A and B are shown apart, each in its own frame.
Chain A
Amino acid sequence: MKEDGKIAIAAVATFFIFIITLGMGKYEFSPIGSLKILIESLAGKASNGDPLANIVLQIRLPRVLAALLVGASLSVSGAGFQALFRNPLVSPDILGVLAGAGFGASLAILLNFPLPFVQAVAFGIGLAALGLSYTVAWRGGGARIVDLVLSGIIIGSLFKSLMSLVKFLADPESKLPQITYWLMGGLASSSWGDVEILALISVPSIAMLYLLRWRLDAFMLGEEEAKALGIKVEFYKAAVIVLSTLPAAASTVVAGLVGWIGLVIPHMARMIFGDSNRFAVPGSAIIGGAFLLVVDTISRAVLPSELPLEVLTSFVGVPFFAYLLRRRVYHGWS
C-alpha cells in the first residue's frame, strides 16, 4: 500500500539520520565509522581502550536515542489526544500533565532534590494532574470530552500558577536560573538512565497506541457513533488518555517542557502519510523522532553554543510546517 511504503521510507531515512547525527559533534565520525562502533559494541567487542568510541557510546548515543524517543513520545501523545478529542488544536498538555510535571520539577529543584528525585516528583505530579482533571470531569459513570477539556485547562492553569509561585520563591541567583533552564528543555545532560526511563515508559505506551490505532479512528466519529460501533467508550477513552499521557510525562521528565512538538508534528505526519491513525500514529513517531534528533543535533553540533529546545524546535519547525501547509491541500480537519 502507498502509505505503508511512505512510512517504511521515512523509517529508513530516520535510521540514516540517526547514524549520521551520531557521528556529528566535536569529534567527527563518518557514518560508516559510527555504524562500526555501534555494531562492535552490540557484538560485545566493547572497545575499552578507544576513547573516541567511548564518547560515542557513553555520551553521544544516549543523547541521540533520548532525542529520538522524546520526539516520538510527544508526537504520538499529541496524535492520540487529537484523535480522541476530535480537535486539531489539542496537544499533550491538554489535561494539565505537562504543567503538573513542570511544577513538580520546579518544586523538587527548589527543595534541592538530586536529579532522579526531581524526575520522580515531576512524573508523579504530572500524573496527579491527570488524575485531578479526570476527577473534576467525572460525572455519572463517565467523563465527557468537553468536560475533560475544561477541567484540563483549569488544572493546567492551577499548576502553572503553582510553578510561578515556586519561581517567585526561588533564590534568583542560584535556584531560579536552574528551574528556568530545566523548564526550557534540553537534552544536554541526557544519560543512559534517561534512555531507560523512556524505554520503559514511552516505548510500551507508543506500542499500545499503535495497536489501538483502529479504535482511535472510530473515536474520530464522536463518542455516540463509536459506542454504536460496539466500542466500550469510557474504557478506551481512559486507556488512550493514559497511554498518551505517559510518554508526554516521561519526555517532560527527561527533556523539560517541549510541548510544541506534540501539537505540530502529528499534523505534519497526517499531511505526509494520511489522516487515518493507522498512518498518523506510526508516522508521528517517526517524524517526531527524526525532527527532534535533527533539532538537537543542530543545537549540539552546529551552533556555537546550545540553545534551549523550546526555542530551537520552533525556529526549525515553523518554516518546515509553513512549507508543508502551503504546498499541500489539507483536507482532514476542515
Chain B
Amino acid sequence: MDGAELKVEGVSYSYGRDDFSLKNISLSLKGGEILALLGPNGSGKTTLTKIVLGILKPHPPSVTVGGVNLFEVTEKERAKLIAWVPQEIMKNVPLRVEDFVLLGRTPHISPLSIPSDLDRKLVAEALRKFGLEILAKRYFSQLSGGERRLASIARAYVQGTPFMVLDEPTAYLDFKNKLLALKVMKELAQEGRGILFTTHDPNEAVEIADQVVLMYRGEILISGNPDEVINEETLEKVYGIKVKIVRSNGRAYVTPSIGQHIEA
C-alpha cells in the first residue's frame, strides 16, 4: 500500500449547465497521510469526495491512484483502490451488522458467488478491531449513530483499499465518539492507508491532519499543513465569523467568538 499516491489534477465539476460547483481543484495524498477537507456548508466538499471516489465524473476526468486513472478502470478495480464512508449513513438497512460489514468485501467477490471463509475472517477481525464484536448479530437499524458510523468505517476498512474517503465522519457524534472516530482515522493512516476526510471543525483538522485543504465556494482557498492553512484570516473569510486561535502546548485551538459576525 505504501508508495501509492492519490492525485486530483485541475478538475472542475458542474451540476447545472453553467454554474460551476467545483473549479480547478488539485490535490495529492500519499499512503499513510491524512488530508482534511475543510469548508463551510455548500463549499463543495461532498462533491469533491464523490469525484475522488469516481461516483461523479469531473472535467477533465483526472483522478489517479498510483498512476491509474479511476475513470479508465472498471467499477470493481476502482473499488479496490478507494473506499467510502458516506456522510448520510442510511439507517434503514435491513441487515445484521456482520452482513453489513461483509458487503465491504464486494469488490473481491465474483458476481455470482458469495463471501469466502477468508472474507468472513477479515470481517471478524475488523469487527474486533473496531469494538463491534458484541453488535455483530444486531440489526444495523438498531445501532446508535456512533455505532453505525463505526460499522461503516469497518465496512470501508475490509474493502482493503490503499485510500479511504470519509465524508464528515464525526457528524452527529457525541464527544467521545468524535474522538474515537479521529483516533480510528489516525490508526488507519499509521497502517499505511491514505485518509481523506471532510469536516466542519478546524480543530479536527489541526488534531490529526497532515495537510488541510480549505474550500470556499467551490474552489480551494488555500492548502498546506494545518499551521499554514488554519489562521484567523482564512477562517474568518470562509465562515464569515470572528474566530480566536488559542495556543497551548504548541497546539492551536480554534474558538468562534459568539456575537461577532462579519458581513460575508
Chain A residues within CB distance 8 Å of chain B: 86, 211-215, 217-218, 220-222, 224-225, 227-233, 270, 274-276, 278, 331-334
- Is chain A's interface secondary structure helix, strand, loop, or mixed overall? loop
- Give the CA-CA distance A115 to B53 in the complex, in Å: 54
Partner of A214, one of B55, B92, B94, B106: B106
Other than the known A212-B112, A228-B53, A232-B75, what 11 A-B pairs have Cβ atoms closer than 8 Å? Answer: A214-B114, A215-B111, A222-B90, A225-B84, A225-B90, A227-B55, A227-B75, A228-B54, A230-B74, A230-B107, A231-B75
Contact at B114–A230, with CB atoms within 8 Å?
A: no
Residues of A within 8 A of B121 (CB): none
- Give the CA-CA distance A214 to B106 in the complex, in Å: 8
CB distance from B93 to the nearest CB of A (A): 6
CB distance from B200 to the nearest CB of A (A): 21
Partner of B141, one of A215, A229, A233, A334: A334
Contact at A218–B141, with CB atoms within 8 Å?
A: no
Q: Residues 123-149 of chain B: 1 if any A CB is under 8 Å from the residue's CB, otherwise 0?
A: 000000000000000010110000000
Given A230-B78, A334-B91, A334-B92, answer yes or no on A217-B141 (Cβ-Cβ < 8 Å): no
- Give the CA-CA distance A48 to B193 in the complex, in Å: 73
Contact at A332–B139, with CB atoms within 8 Å?
A: yes
Contact at B115–A214, with CB atoms within 8 Å?
A: yes
Question: What are some 8 contacts across the A-B interface (CB < 8 A)?
Answer: A215-B106, A229-B104, A229-B107, A230-B79, A230-B80, A275-B95, A331-B142, A332-B94
Q: Residues 84-119 of chain B: 1 if any A CB is under 8 Å from the residue's CB, otherwise 0?
A: 101000111111100100011011010111110000
- Give the CA-CA distance A230 to B96 in the complex, in Å: 21
Residues of B within 8 A of A227 (CB): 55, 75
8 Å CB contacts to A: which residues of B166-205?
Answer: none
Contact at A230–B141, with CB atoms within 8 Å?
A: no
Contact at B103–A217, with CB atoms within 8 Å?
A: yes
- Give the CA-CA distance A333 to B92 in the complex, in Å: 6
Contact at B103–A229, with CB atoms within 8 Å?
A: yes
Given A225-B84, A230-B76, A331-B139, answer yes or no on A218-B55 (Cβ-Cβ < 8 Å): no
Contact at A229–B79, with CB atoms within 8 Å?
A: yes
Interface centre among A212, A213, A221, A274 (most CB of B within 10 A): A221
CB distance from A281 to the nearest CB of B (A): 12
Contact at A220–B111, with CB atoms within 8 Å?
A: no
- Give the CA-CA distance A332 to B111 in the complex, in Å: 25
> Does B83 touch A at the CB level, under 8 Å?
yes
Contact at A332–B106, with CB atoms within 8 Å?
A: no
Partner of A228, one of B83, B91, B92: B83
> Does B223 touch A at the CB level, under 8 Å?
no
Residues of B within 8 A of A220 (CB): 93-95
Question: Which of under 10, 10 to 19, 20 to 34, or 35 or more describes the interface residues of B?
Answer: 35 or more
Given A229-B103, A229-B106, A229-B159, answer yes or no on A278-B114 (Cβ-Cβ < 8 Å): yes
Given A212-B112, A214-B109, answer yes or no on A228-B95 (Cβ-Cβ < 8 Å): no
Residues of B within 8 A of A331 (CB): 94, 139, 141-142
Contact at B106–A218, with CB atoms within 8 Å?
A: yes
- Give the CA-CA distance A217 to B115 in the complex, in Å: 12
CB distance from A227 to the nearest CB of B (A): 6
Residues of A within 8 A of B141 (CB): 331-334
Contact at B111–A333, with CB atoms within 8 Å?
A: no
Interface centre among B90, B95, B141 (most CB of A within 10 A): B95
- Give the CA-CA distance A278 to B103 in the complex, in Å: 12
- Give the CA-CA distance A228 to B92 in the complex, in Å: 19
- Give the CA-CA distance A2 to B104 in the complex, in Å: 23
Residues of A within 8 A of B107 (CB): 229-230
- Give the CA-CA distance A121 to B140 in the complex, in Å: 45
Contact at B111–A212, with CB atoms within 8 Å?
A: yes
Partner of A225, one of B86, B92, B94, B95: B86
Interface centre among A220, A222, A230 (most CB of B within 10 A): A230
Residues of B within 8 A of A230 (CB): 74-80, 106-107
Given A228-B84, A275-B95, answer yes or no on A221-B79 (Cβ-Cβ < 8 Å): no
Partner of A221, one of B50, B83, B93: B93
Partner of A217, one of B95, B111, B113, B159: B95
Nearest neighbor of A278 in chain B, beta-carbon distance: B114
8 Å CB contacts to A: which residues of B35-62?
Answer: 50, 53-55
Residues of B within 8 A of A217 (CB): 95, 99, 103
